[in-house]
Amino acid sequence: MVNECINYLCKKYIIVTFEELNLNTPLLNAIDDIGFIQPTPIQVQAFPAIMSGKDVIGIAQTGTGKTFAYLMPILRQLKYSEKKHPRILIMVPTRELVIQTVAEIEKLAKYMDLRFGGVYGGTNIKTQGQNVYNGIDILVATPGRLIDLVMTGVLRIKTVYQVVIDEVDEMLNLGFRHQLINVLELLPQRRQNLMFSATLSADVEELINDFFYEPLKIEIVERGSPLEKIEQIVYHLPNFNTKVNLLELFLKERDDMQKILVFVGNKKLADRLHVTIGMRFPGDITVIHSNKAQNTRINAIKRFESGENRVLIATDIAGRGLDFANVSHVINFDTPNVPGDYIHRIGRTGRADKEGTAITFVNEAEMEYQTAIEKFMRKEIKVEALPEHLKISELFTEDEKPVLFDKNYLKEATIKHSQGAYHEKTEKNL
């Protein structure tokens, strides 16, 4: 695995086990408890780079273990202290990621005497302020809430000497550039900057140029990448109702679909789908999106993670970066209009060394998105024939109607021969 390294660090450090990473006993014991056998390539390379004290940029695909790539060296260097204000700041784009990152720290710091916690918007700022005020070593935060806490004077960040900007591409996609820059400007001049991302866009580069000093760049060019372990399939379906019918059929007939993450583009669709399918499978389905109260969302995530609920319906934003063990299937109930969203969605399955399946439901209007995704991946997605006994609905929802009527979509013939008709179109577009 180390042969794929592309910078000088690899030649210098041929490391393949956690022991050889120069971790200490508390960390090795924690990793032993977690059960990881070998560090991933980004972990191998980020460790000595971060330990060197220089600014570091780590680029590796989703699901390659970037969180531990920065947590291991940070915890390795962190000494016990009674200082009140945080020394390490980790910024992530969403509340869910704050919670998840804090949970990862908890596992890795199990045998260390450390204070850590997370802050995020949408919950009582006083309570969160209180947690911080009691003294903290590592703070995980979304940029907005962080600024609020600094502005109210509860939190001081002049003591931070290491800052991590995680999932930075997402952070910029979600429009946090301004807040991010605000935070960076509030930090002390002397500090180590660490940044992790799945992609290195022009936006990200700009941020690096403005705030990083002679960074070491680690880029893992993946072979046998997580995406290759994911089987990708599309079904061409005429409308919402038929998509629901197919999902229902899967839930009834497919025992291999153990843990299903269903993605939809917006809250409204998430709720509509939850109501429609939830009635048919009471107790099996749960949902998260940004309008749900924080507790509801945390509970939904817990129930899905533990297997109590077989299906979690999530919007792109609520599902960002979320990491669940053993998701057997990702179902894209709608087709993302941005290829990057597709990659992020399907990256929720096939994590670490597991296999997974990603199924995408595509209606006629979404055909062009499928084409864009295929171009982006330089790979065609297999079109699966519809099951014979699938009920094809001729009812269109209000949202579907205007566009579809324009295209004479309801004509009998189109629906009956949908497979062929769609297929021709894909080929033509390609």
Question: What are the beta bridge partners of residue 262?
Answer: 313, 331
Question: Residue 28, interface with ligand ADP (CB under 6 A)?
Answer: no
| Nearest approach, Cβ of residue 410 and Mg ion (Å) | 44
Which one among 323, 341, 364, 374 touches ligand ADP, defined by CB under 6 A?
323
Per the CB < 8 A criterion, the answer to whether 165 and 97 are in contact is no
Task: Return d(Cα 132, Cα 121) in angstroms, integer.
Answer: 14
Question: Residue 400, interface with ligand ADP (CB under 6 A)?
Answer: no
Question: Residue 356, interface with ligand ADP (CB under 6 A)?
Answer: no
Contact partner at residue 64 from ligand ADP, Mg ion, none, CB < 5 to 8 Å by partner kind: ligand ADP
Nearer to ligand ADP, 243 or 344 (CB): 344
Nearer to ligand ADP, 38 or 152 (CB): 38
Q: Pick the closest to residue 20 from 1, 60, 48 (CA basis).
A: 48
Question: Residue 58, interface with ligand ADP (CB under 6 A)?
Answer: no
| Nearest approach, Cβ of residue 426 and ligand ADP (Å) | 30
Task: Return d(Cα 352, Cα 40) in angstroms, integer.
Answer: 9
Which one among 259, 274, 292, 351 touches ligand ADP, defined by CB under 6 A?
351
Per the CB < 8 A criterion, the answer to whether 371 and 425 are in contact is no
β-sheet with 285-288: strand ranges across: 285-288, 311-315, 260-264, 329-332, 356-362, 230-236, 382-383
Number of residues that bind Mg ion (CB under 5 A): 1
Stretch that binds Mg ion, among 58-66, 73-81, 202-210, 247-255 (CB under 5 A): 58-66
Which one among 352, 365, 392, 415 touches ligand ADP, defined by CB under 6 A?
352
Question: Residue 70, interface with ligand ADP (CB under 6 A)?
Answer: no
Which one among 1, 22, 36, 368 touches ligand ADP, defined by CB under 6 A?
36
| Nearest approach, Cβ of residue 371 and ligand ADP (Å) | 27
Q: Left if phi > 0, otherwise alpha if psi is -120 to 50, otherwise beta: which for 100?
A: alpha
Question: Residue 328, interface with ligand ADP (CB under 6 A)?
Answer: no
Nearer to ligand ADP, 104 or 271 (CB): 104
CA angle 216, 12, 201 (to 5 degrees): 25
Site string for Mg ion, 62-91 (x = CB under 5 A): ----x-------------------------
Q: Tell me the CA distances in angstroms from 427 to 297, 367, 423, 424, 430, one per residue in order.
A: 41, 11, 6, 5, 5
Task: Return d(Cα 285, Cα 277) in angstroms, integer.
Answer: 8
Nearer to ligand ADP, 43 or 173 (CB): 43
Tell me how far apart the terminal alpha carbons of the chain are, to the nearest angstrom: 35
Q: Which residues have a Cβ under 8 Å from the Cβ of 308 and sit 6 or more positions away?
A: none
Give residues 226-285 in contact with ligand ADP (rule: CB under 6 A): none
Nearer to ligand ADP, 285 or 301 (CB): 301
Q: Left if phi > 0, otherwise alpha if psi is -120 to 50, otherwise beta: which for 86?
A: beta
Stretch that binds ligand ADP, among 45-53, 65-73, 283-291, 356-364 (CB under 6 A): 65-73
Q: Does the CA dihedral 133-134-138-140 come out positive or negative?
A: negative
Residues that bind Mg ion (CB under 5 A): 66
Residues that bind ligand ADP (CB under 6 A): 36, 38-40, 43, 60, 62-68, 323, 351-352
